[in-house]
Structure formats: C-alpha cells, structure tokens
Structure 1
Amino acid sequence: MTAQLYAAITLGSNSFNMLVAKTIDKQPTIIAKYKRKVRLAEGIEADGSLNLSAMTRGIDCLAMFADMLQKEGVSADNVEVIATATLRKISNSDDFCQQAIKVLPHPIGIISGIEEAELIYQGMAATTSGSGQRLVIDIGGASTEFIIGNGNKVLFKTSLPMGCVTFNNRFFDQFPFKSTDFDHARRNVESILGDYQQELSSLGWQSVVGASGSVQSVVELLCARGESTVITLDVLQRLKQETLMQNSASMLEINGLKPERAPTFAAGVAILLALFELLNIETLHLSGGALREGLLHQLARRSS
C-alpha cells in the first residue's frame, strides 16, 4: 500500500510555507517544500486592516500552493492550513479568508499565540538533537514566541507582539540606519517582555534554540563566511556595526547576506541583540524545525 501524502501550510507574517510529506517508519518524511516571502505584516494599515497589495501577495501565493498540491497529488482531506499573528490581528481577516478559499479550497485555522508556541516547541523537539531544559525563541514577522521545555514537556510558553517585519516598519524604515534605531528597538523589546523577563530567567535553561527567519538569516550568513554557526553576543554586535556601515538599503556589502533576507535583517538583529542582553543569553543554536514541522508531525499522527 502506498503511503498517503499530506501537506502542512503555515501562513506567517513574513513567509508562507508548505511542506508535503508521507509517513515512513512512523515518521513524516518531507518530499517537497514550497516557500514565498509574502511579508504580510508590511501591509497592516493604521486602521488595523490589511491593504490590497499585501492581500494580493498572499492570495497569489496560496494559488501557487494549490497548483503544487495538485501537482504533488495530495488529497484534499490531507491538507491543513494555519495562520499566525497578522491574520490574528487584522480587522479584515474574514475578507482574506473568503478570497483565499476561492483559490485554495481549504479552511484557514487562525491559531492563538499560545497554540503557535506549542506547535513551535513540538516542531523543535521532533527535529533538534539535545537534552535538558531548553529555551526556544521563534522570531517571526509580527510575533515572537518564547517556550521553555524539557524533552516533550512544555514548562512555559507565551507569544509577544514583536517581529522582524513590524519592527522594520517602526524602527528601520529610514536609511541610513542609526545606532539610535537599535536603541529604540531594544527599549521596545524590554517593554514588551515586561514581567516575562524575570519569569523566563527564574525558570532557567541549559541551552537556547532559535527558529524562523531572523535566526536563519544570521546562521546562513555565518555559514557562507565559513564561521561557526553558533550565534553569540559578539557575532550580533559585529553584524550591527556592519549594518550601520552600509551605503545602500540593499546591504549588498554584507558578506553572506542573501538579498531576500536584507529587508528585515537589521530589525531581526536588533531583536536578537536585545534578547541576548536582557535575558543574558550566551549562545544560541538554530532549531531543526519549528511551526511548520510541528503542524506536520500533528498531521502525521492524525493520518497514522
């Protein structure tokens, strides 16, 4: 009997992702990946609605996913679509969902920040080696999730309204970037963390794992330079200085930075820097997986 295919689709504030997989030896095995930088959070207007341009980018991506589902031969019963921070907060999310279902005929589940944090942790635990108590930080486009867990057990989880797209719009919308932009971002991170700063520090951890685009962009850069891919405070301070020295907003002179990562790179580095300093983080390693892998494993359990 041929193993059934299933697809996990996640609509983030920065990127839309789709994983197609089948179960082999009781584990989901990914056979295809699709991703597009939609930057949905860039389109949030002052009145809380999502503008037409961002909505169009999102719907176009979902139409592409629909084509790929047909190409891969995934049954309509084996597809799950979830959305995160931007669709949680915009006032016209119903409009987006109504347009979306016309091109991708699957209902969109808009999950809470706590549900997102749970899936992120399960995705990390299923794909990332290591033991002991771990702090997981997932910096998305419009929210950041913090989870502390040990093995498969979650001890703490929360989702806070800070992300590389929203911070880019607030603090890094004027070029050239200035040191004060990073200072303003840090103060905002501290304010949003609030009492969670003490709560996280009190629980403690043996290691820190980071997920999603902001961490990935730094790790890709370090890998391209042939350096250790472990993120440290020194690494982030060097990247801050390189960002401040750029002559163009494209930041083409930053060795190892992929062009598609450049638009939100400064904001991501600023958030990471603030968290390293406020939480006294020494080192951070890239997670093997996060939200989409968590959803994929949930689908695999359901289809087994």
Structure 2
Amino acid sequence: MKRKNDTNVLIEFGSNTAKVYSCSALKSTDACFYRLPLRLASQLNSSQMLSEKGIKSILDTIADVKQRFTNNDQIRLIGTEALRRAKNSAAVQQRIAEQFGLNLRILSWQEEAEAAYRGVLGTAGASGRIICFDIGGSSTEIIQGKDKKIERSKSFPVGAVDLSRKFIRKQPLTQCMYTALNMELERKLVWKNNLQLKLLGSGGAVYTCAMVALMHAGKSESEALKEIDGSTLRRSEIIRQEQSYRALTLEQIRQIPGMDPSRVDIILPAVMIIRRIMENTREYSFIVSTRGVWQGIMFANR
C-alpha cells in the first residue's frame, strides 16, 4: 500500500549522464531531479565492454541514492544506449542485483523512443501530429505520432559524446574536423519527411541550447528556467550557436551564460545534430520540452 510519505525514485543511466528523479508515490507533481555526468559512453572500450571504472560509477550512484531515500521508497533503474551496447551488461545487472537487490532494466531503442514520446506529450503545444527527437550521448531517437499514438520511429547511432570522441581533437575545430563531423551526420542521420509537422526536442543538449538562447536574448537565469519548457528555438539560433562554438575554445564556451559545464566539450556536435534534424524535417523552429524518457517511464500508468 502506498503511503503519503513514500517516494518513487527513478535512476536513468544514459550515455552521458545519470539522471535521478523522485516524486511522491501518490502524486506525479513536484518531481525533482539531479544529474551526474558519468559519461558511460566514454567507458566503452573498442570491444564494447564497459570498463570497471564505468561499472563502479553506476554502483556508487545507486549506493548514494539508496542512502538518500528510505526503505519505503521504490527505486527503479533503467539504462539506455551505452548499456545496450555494452557486451557485459548482463554482468553489470548481476552485480547490481547482488549488491542492492535491484533490477536494472535496459530499454530497447523502441522502448526508449516510446517513453520519450509519451514523456513530451505533457509539453505545451504537444498536440495533434508531431515529430519529437531526443538526443543522447550515443544515440538520437526521432518519433512521429498523432496525439498518444506513435506512427513511426527510428534510432540513429549518433550521439553528442560519441561524435565528440570520434571527431573533435581540439577546439576551435579545424575545417577538416568540422567537415568530417558533418559528413558523418549526413551519412547516418537521414529522416525522410513529406509532411509539415510540429517539431519538439528533448534531452540535456536541447535544454542547454534553450538556456543559452534565452539568456542570450536577455533573460536572467531564473526567468529562463521558468520559461524554458514549451519555449521555441529557431533554426537561425541553432546556426548562431553552432558558428559560435566552432570558433571558441572549451574555456570560452564554458563562460557562455546558460551553458551546462558538463556539456562544454559535447555541445557543438549536439547543436549540429539538432541542425541536421531541422534540415531533414524541413522545420525552421521547434518546441523545447524539458520532459522525456523519465516521465514516460515513471508516469506510464497515470
């Protein structure tokens, strides 16, 4: 039986960050979260085995969360692309079960896409026929649907962390690095769209781009935080940010108002993914959603 003091807790182990969400077991409102930049995608070796350092970061995160919440609280664990790729993911799941008595559910890309779509439906403007995209560290999902029904979806093997590791050796980038990154996106991220549909974006990279845009427009941080969900980003702003990040050092990017310090080295490939999606969908703007996979999983039955 759920009690008013009980809490639902969800830890989402993504390719870039671990996200910890909690909310009342009886209400879906007033959810809170924090993020930890584990960079699991960077802990996969050439054989696609997750390193001991990467595994330890997962175990340490779970241990920390269990200390913060009581035995009455329900803790759920999910993993996405980095753990889908890891050939030793079963061993990771076993260690978690033995140490904490918890089950790590590794989502298929279809489950992740469905959860992302279901999550963004609570965003203002997310009605009728829409296309939504969710950018991660190792993959990007694009989903088309009408209201609550998904019509088609696809997972692309391009993410901000992986692209940064593969193509960016220094910043500012050389023209050769930039061209190679662009060619990779043109080759791997192709979404044919014959309809003009409402476009929504979610994920940490989208959130960061929106914060930078709002503060560049003169908003204070507190004002930007209030306005970000449901705000609109235009393609011209994405191109402005892309050109800016291309020309700056990492330290200069870090100083940009609204920038997430944990995304400084991956923000350029992230905005290039966004720009590529907007070109593919022939859209000149998109709606920013601060929602996503976690809402789709945590509130699936509400």
Q: Normalising by structure 1, what TM-score?
A: 0.86
Q: Normalising by structure 2, what TM-score?
A: 0.87
Say which of 166, 171, 177 aligns to 2:173: 177
Give the share of equivalent positions with the same residue, in percent.
Answer: 22
Instruction: Return the alpha-carbon distance in structure 1 between the equivalents of residues 69 and 198 of structure 2.
Output: 38
Gaps of 5+ in 1: none
Check the 8 A contact 1:128/1:288 in 2, yes or no: no
- Mark the CA change 1:32 to 1:217 in structure 2 (over 3 Å): closer, same or farther: closer
Alignment match, 2:143: 147
SS in structure 2 at match of 1:136: strand
Alignment match, 1:240: 242
Bigger Cα displacement from structure 2, 119-128 vs 288-297: 119-128
Aligned length: 289
- Mark the CA change 1:281 to 1:180 in structure 2 (over 3 Å): closer, same or farther: farther
The 5 Å alignment of 1:131-170 reads: 131-170=127-166
SS in structure 1 at match of 2:242: helix
- Mark the CA change 1:101 to 1:224 in structure 2 (over 3 Å): closer, same or farther: farther
The 5 Å alignment of 1:1-304 reads: 2-3=3-4, 4-22=6-24, 28-70=28-70, 74-75=72-73, 78-194=74-190, 197-198=191-192, 201-202=193-194, 204-226=195-217, 230-248=232-250, 251-298=253-300, 300-301=301-302
SS in structure 1 at match of 2:253: coil
- Deviation (angstroms), 1:288: 3.6
Check the 8 A contact 2:15/2:137 in 1, yes or no: yes
Instruction: Return the alpha-carbon distance in structure 1 between the equivalents of residues 246 and 189 of structure 2.
Output: 26
- Deviation (angstroms), 1:102: 4.5
Check the 8 A contact 2:196/2:283 in 1, yes or no: no
- Which protein, 1 or 2, shows the higher relative CO under an 8 Å CA cutoff with sep ≥ 6? 1
Check the 8 A contact 1:189/1:275 in 2, yes or no: no
* Letter of the structure 1 residue corresponding to residue 109 of structure 2: G
Check the 8 A contact 1:134/1:207 in 2, yes or no: yes
Gaps of 5+ in 2: 220-230
SS in structure 1 at match of 2:121: helix
- Mark the CA change 1:249 to 1:180 in structure 2 (over 3 Å): closer, same or farther: farther
Bigger Cα displacement from structure 2, 58-67 vs 175-184: 175-184
Instruction: Return the alpha-carbon distance in structure 1 between the equivalents of residues 89 and 271 of structure 2.
Output: 29
